[in-house]
A and B are shown apart, each in its own frame.
Chain A
Amino acid sequence: MKPASSFRELTPAPESALADVRFGTRAVRLPLGENLAAALLLAGIMPFRLTPVSGAPRGPFCMMGACFDCLVEIDGVTRQACMLTVTEDMAIDMPAAGKGDGDA
């Protein structure tokens, strides 16, 4: 079931342009080629990560590559979701306290 999102798409992407993506244990379909952070927000994904210090939930803040709050883990590398685009079969994990290197 698609979780409720605080975001609304003005012109929905056609079904054919969706990619199958995994976020943690969830399977989501995201618009191919769309900004990854934007697509995850629209799909109702939140939080994106838990902080390494206190485990606090975080999500995108600046959307321009400066704040590093939208960090996600792709193929074991911590990366900024707002600086990536959706590709087919993307496997995304959530950085969390004591897991991976949140310092990037």
Chain B
Amino acid sequence: MREVDLIIIGAGPAGMSAAGRAAECGLSVVILDEQPVAGGQIYRDVDRASALRGDILGKDFTEGQKLTQRLDHKNITHLKGAVVWQIEDGPRVSYTHAGQGGTVCAKRLLLATGALERPMPIPGWTLPGVMTAGAAQILLKQSGIACKGAVLVGSGPLLYLIGSQMVRAGVPPLALVETQTRHDFIGSLRHLGGALRGWRYLLKGAAMLWHLRRARVPRYVAASSLAIEGKEAAQAVAFTSKGKSRRIACETVLLHHGVVPNTQTARSIDIPHQWDEEQACFVPQCDEWGRTPKTDVFIAGDGAGIGGAKAAALAGEIAALDIACDLGQLTSADRDAAARPLRARLINERAARPFIDSAYPPYAAALAPQDATIVCRCEEVTAGDIRRMAGLGCTGPNQTKAFGRAGMGPCQGRYCGLTVTRLLADANGVSPDETGHYRIRPPIKPVTLGEIAAMTPQETKADSK
């Protein structure tokens, strides 16, 4: 079995920059990443896509190449297409790579598993043709595929970004249907100070909106009563805006109302999480270096709380410095000196976040969906089912599994966990923290018996201690 100083899970901005810094400090690093190429979701396939369609995707995207270049270091082994399915004490990580199981051990483990789209359960969201806005971005970045006849629905700057990229690609969206209200905007002004420090983000947002307006993409705000209509596939988006009922016929619906930390890996090793009211999601417990209560495990990037790609890259470097110090490659004075400028930049990167979070809150009706709406996509469990379970005495998400299979399908609660917690918390009149989240158990990704059987022989767990 291979043994290294540091294992990093995820080759997005946090994972790539952490690997780069750790390698420069003299640590041996293995990066395990599910994707066939480095970049994560935000910089998906950046090396290839920049050359082919950098003009459509923009400079914020092509800049990701600076991070992929850092992986070219003799101390870094990047296992592309490696699917992690189990983490044990050690830390010891089991994965599948090229159809074969493998195991790697390290002195430290960094989880850089990024974010997921916040689940947006509205009527019709399971129909073919409905995707996340992030999915549309991935199609564009990785495959050069644009969605035709698409309506963008939800809230947040990502909708403006994908909308303006679609305009540049020559396939503009049919409409932009936004759920945030004027009231949200006025409320967000209390964070204007921070927003002005993060002025670059505001300027970019304004430029993208201007671009959409100039392309004559119709924009509806304060939309409510959202529903996607269709039988075999999405055919239209229906909603109410400014007191008027509207219906837009379309082929594709792209949903987005923010992203949330992908906590699946951290939860599988019992890292404690707490509810973050500002971002309406669970975040793992870690210190200013990203160190969790399991002291040999660190978390960096959006997986530790949403901050965006640039903040993630800085957090990755900061975690790498502390890990290098742990392993005797840096003195604590050198670590602190190297971290100081990074922290200053991190504060700036995060400055606009409270403004963005309150100006573009999640769509309220998707946080507490109507009874008939499916919340667990895999097992087709509705919000009404969850409320009925609460009425029968169900207090936590784990019990919903026994009551009615919620969270037991192949996605293992990734796209229903937050909704189920929220529904139970509301129904039982307790906090999300008290309600808790699904217990996540390995395998955290599917693995076949054949892949396990093909694993190279290794010592037993007892021997390796």
Binding site for B on A (CB under 8 A): 5-11, 34-35, 38-39, 41-42, 46-48, 51, 53-54, 56-69, 71, 77-79, 83, 85, 102-104
Query: Is there an interface contact between B131 and A7, defined as CB atoms closer than 8 Å?
Result: no
In the complex, identify which listed stretch (B206-214, B271-279, B332-340, B377-385) lies at the interface while the others stay far away. B377-385
A46 partner, pick from B36, B52, B129, B408, beta carbons under 8 A: B129
Partner of B135, one of A42, A47, A63, A85: A63
| Chain B residues positioned under 8 Å from A66 (CB to CB) | 116, 262, 411, 414-415
Give which listed residue, B52, B149, B170, contacts A6 with CB less than 8 A.
B149
Q: Are B129's CB and A8's CB within 8 A?
A: no
Q: A10-B169, A102-B410 are in contact. List 9 more A-B contacts (CB 8 A).
A: A6-B252, A9-B143, A46-B129, A61-B130, A63-B139, A64-B41, A64-B138, A67-B377, A68-B411
Q: Which residues of B contact A9 (CB under 8 A)?
A: 143-145
A57-B128, A59-B129 known; A8-B139 Cβ under 8 A = no
- Whether a CB of chain A sits under 8 angstroms from the CB of B34 is yes
Cβ-based interface call for B343 (8 A) = no
Question: Quick one: given A63-B135, A65-B34, are A6 and B129 in contact (CB under 8 Å)?
Answer: yes
| B245 within 8 A of partner (CB) | no
Q: How far is the CB of A6 from chain B (nearest CB, A)?
A: 4
Cα of A5 to Cα of B251 in the assembled complex, Å: 9
- Chain A residues with CB under 8 Å of B446's CB are 78-79, 104
Partner of B143, one of A38, A46, A78, A103: A38
Interface of B is mostly: loop
Smallest CB separation, A71 vs chain B (Å): 7
State the 5 A-B residue pairs at the shortest beta-carbon distance, nearest first.
A59-B128, A63-B135, A6-B251, A68-B410, A38-B143
26 example contacts (A-B, Cβ-Cβ < 8 A) are as follows A5-B148, A6-B147, A6-B150, A8-B148, A10-B56, A11-B52, A11-B53, A48-B128, A53-B379, A57-B127, A57-B232, A60-B131, A61-B130, A61-B135, A61-B415, A62-B117, A62-B135, A66-B411, A66-B415, A68-B378, A69-B411, A83-B83, A102-B410, A103-B408, A103-B410, A104-B410
In the bound complex, residues from chain B placing their C-beta under 8 Å from that of A104 are 410, 446
Check B126 for interface membership: any CB of A closer than 8 A.
Answer: yes
Determine the residue in chain A with the shortest Cβ distance to B125.
A61
Chain A residues, Cβ within 8 Å of B147: 6-8
Shortest distance from the beta carbon of A72 to any chain B beta carbon, whole Å: 12
Give the Cβ gap from B2 to chain A, nearest Cβ, in Å: 23
**How far apart sit A102 and B409, CA to CA, in the bound complex (Å)?**
8
- Pick the contact of B116: A11, A34, A58, A62 (CB < 8 A): A62
- In Å, the complex CA distance between A5 and B128 comes to 12
**Which of B36, B56, B139 is most buried by chain A, counting CB atoms within 10 A of its CB?**
B139
In the bound assembly, the distance between CA atoms of A46 and B378 in angstroms comes to: 18
Q: Mark B227-262, 1 if CB is under 8 A from A, else 0.
A: 000001100000000000000000110000000001
**Contact B411 A38, beta carbon cutoff 8 Å:** no
